[in-house]
Amino acid sequence: AAALALRKVPQCNSSWTDDYIRQYNNVNINVAVQTDNGLYVPVIRDADKKGLSSIAEEVKNLAQKAKENSLKQEDYEGGTFTVSNLGGPFGIKQFCAIINPPQSGILAVGSAEKRVIPGSGPDQFKFASFMSVTLSCDHRVIDGAIGAEWLKAFKGYIENPESMLL
């Protein structure tokens, strides 16, 4: 969803240089992986062109390499945006992540939780899953309106996963 939102709002797939804003053609997503040796952020290259199962398998393989301390330089360089998830592994509801320079954005993903949604009648209700995400941006590159546009695109993909089918 993050990669597709970057393709939809390419201004967020950019970085600040001394002289100009560089917009990337490739969507390369770094994913934060905690290991006994510290935090690593291996990269999923061209993530916007891959299906969810392919990305999941690649993340699993890169996470294993990180835990074995066998990542190569090309496994973590060249990312254009980072996703950090403290929800699944640590149960953190919400957090703010710090941008990895020279990238201009990072998405902090919190844990999903079930909530009761009231229906139209007194005895009608349903359960739904809610998840908190926080987008941290370098405002020299991504202003609030562009960041909100990206979050709206991301939310659309998460709420309608069939729209992510490639």
Is residue 18 part of the annotated active site? The answer reads: no
Out of 36, 48, 138, 139, pick the active-site residue: 139
Backbone angles phi, psi at 98, to 5 degrees: -95, 135
Q: Strands (DSSP E) along 76-151, which ranges?
A: 81-85, 105-118, 125-137
Out of 48, 75, 123, 143, pick the active-site residue: 143
Torsion sign, CA atoms 130, 136, 141, 144: positive
Residue 100: is it exposed, middle or buried by C-beta count within 10 angstroms (0-12/13-18/19+)?
A: middle
Task: Tell me whether strands 33-35 and 43-44 are parallel, antiparallel or unpaired.
Answer: unpaired
Is residue 139 part of the annotated active site? The answer reads: yes
Catalytic residue positions, numbered: 139, 143
